[in-house]
């Protein structure tokens, strides 16, 4: 009899035991194999092969899968590698044990679990992520053979928009708003000053123009036209007013 698993590291075989069968010219032959197994040997196929002349033209074999029991090797697996603020999110505690872990205990290092975090066996659900959820989370998996603890550091990514960025800048720099307001006021004041200056210039030019126009009118105004009853008489008086005045002067002399 041969054993195909004898090449396994740490395998130790015992010499075959031959026992005669009473009142029968046959024998029972047994063989024993001792293995030092690990979790990687779980479900390994063990084959026992019997070789005997009576089994011609071949041999006889028996196979069985090896079942290895081992304690958990807990690991926390996130739903995604980019948890975003305001979104749903969950963590899964992978026990990696045989049998499967019978209990999971979730904790947050240096504090309690967030109020919005719900434990559901191997899962830790977050209904709505928040920056306050940041921290190191622990999961203890137990399957009665042993236990193991895994950990995961949660860093919630903030979602930025133009409005939130402006608000963040203003909150980071309290003088930003006052500086911007001061610049706006300075620009408005400058524009108003320019407009006032232009209006004053226009008023000065208009005043000088009116003064010049009025002087020209008074200089060329015909004497005697103020007493004329109508336009024609005013024209006649304007044309002959000067000579009439001279005639009137000579008359008195």
> Is 239 part of any domain?
yes
User: 114 and 134 share a domain?
Assistant: yes
Q: What is the mean pLDDT of the chain?
A: 78
Residues 217, 220, 226, 232, CA torsion sign:
negative
pLDDT of the residue at 31: 82
pLDDT of the residue at 65: 92
Asked whether residue 9 carries a pLDDT value surpassing 90, the answer given is no
* pTM for the full predicted model: 0.52
> Is 167 part of any domain?
no
Percent of the chain whose pLDDT exceeds 70: 64
Longest dimension (CA), the chain: 198
User: 148 and 85 share a domain?
Assistant: yes
Summarize pLDDT for 66-80 with one digit per residue, the tens: 999 999 999 999 999
Higher-pLDDT residue of 4 and 210 is 210
Query: How many structural domains is the chain composed of?
Result: 3
User: 82 and 143 share a domain?
Assistant: yes
Of 154, 170, 192, the residue that ends a domain is: 154
User: CA separation (Å) from 113 to 100, 134, 141, 174?
Assistant: 25, 11, 17, 34
Summarize pLDDT for 143-154 with one digit per residue, the tens: 999 999 999 999
Q: Which region among 45-59, 91-105, 206-220 has the lowest average model confidence (pLDDT)?
A: 206-220
> Is 133 part of any domain?
yes
> Is 168 part of any domain?
no
> Is 70 part of any domain?
no
> Is 101 part of any domain?
yes
Asked whether residue 252 carries a pLDDT value surpassing 50, the answer given is no
User: 209 and 149 share a domain?
Assistant: no
Asked whether residue 192 carries a pLDDT value surpassing 80, the answer given is yes
> Is 50 part of any domain?
yes
Asked whether residue 160 carries a pLDDT value surpassing 80, the answer given is no
Q: Based on the number of CB atoms within 10 Å of its own CB, is 137 exposed (0-12), middle (13-18) or buried (19 or more)?
A: buried
pLDDT of the residue at 69: 94
Summarize pLDDT for 120-159 with one digit per residue, the tens: 999 999 999 999 999 999 999 999 999 999 999 999 998 8
Using 50, 70 and 90 to split pLDDT, how confident is the model at 110? confident
Range of the domain at 27: 2-65
Of 7, 3, 10, which Cα lies nearest the Cα of 38? Answer: 10
Of 98, 101, 97, which Cα lies nearest the Cα of 73? Answer: 97
15-44: average pLDDT: 77
Q: What is the CATH number of the domain that holds 101?
A: 2.60.40.10
pLDDT of the residue at 247: 47
């Amino acid at each position: 009899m041969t054993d195909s698993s004898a090449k396994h590291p740490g395998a130790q075989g015992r010499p075959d035991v031959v026992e005669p069968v009473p009142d029968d010219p046959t024998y029972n032959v047994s063989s024993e194999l001792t293995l030092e197994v690990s979790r990687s040997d779980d479900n390994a196929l063990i084959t026992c092969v019997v070789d005997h002349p009576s089994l011609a033209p071949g041999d006889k074999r028996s196979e069985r899968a090896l079942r290895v029991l081992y304690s958990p090797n807990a690991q926390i697996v996130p739903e995604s590698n980019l948890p975003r603020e305001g979104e749903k999110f969950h963590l899964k505690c992978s026990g990696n044990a045989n049998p499967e872990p019978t209990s999971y205990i979730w904790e947050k290092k240096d504090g309690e679990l967030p109020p919005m975090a719900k434990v559901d066996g191997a899962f830790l659900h977050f209904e709505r992520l928040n920056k306050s959820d940041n921290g190191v989370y622990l999961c203890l998996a137990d399957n009665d053979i042993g236990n193991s603890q895994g950990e995961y550091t949660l860093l919630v990514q903030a979602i930025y928009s133009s409005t939130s960025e402006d608000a963040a800048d203003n909150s980071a720099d309290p003088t930003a708003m006052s500086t911007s307001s001061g610049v706006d006021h300075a620009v408005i004041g400058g524009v108003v000053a320019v407009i006032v200056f232009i209006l004053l210039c226009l008023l000065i030019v208009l005043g000088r123009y009116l003064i010049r126009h009025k002087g020209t009118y008074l200089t060329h105004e015909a004497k005697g036209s103020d007493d004329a009853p109508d336009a024609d008489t005013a024209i006649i008086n304007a044309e002959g007013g000067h000579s009439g005045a001279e005639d009137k002067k000579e008359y008195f002399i």
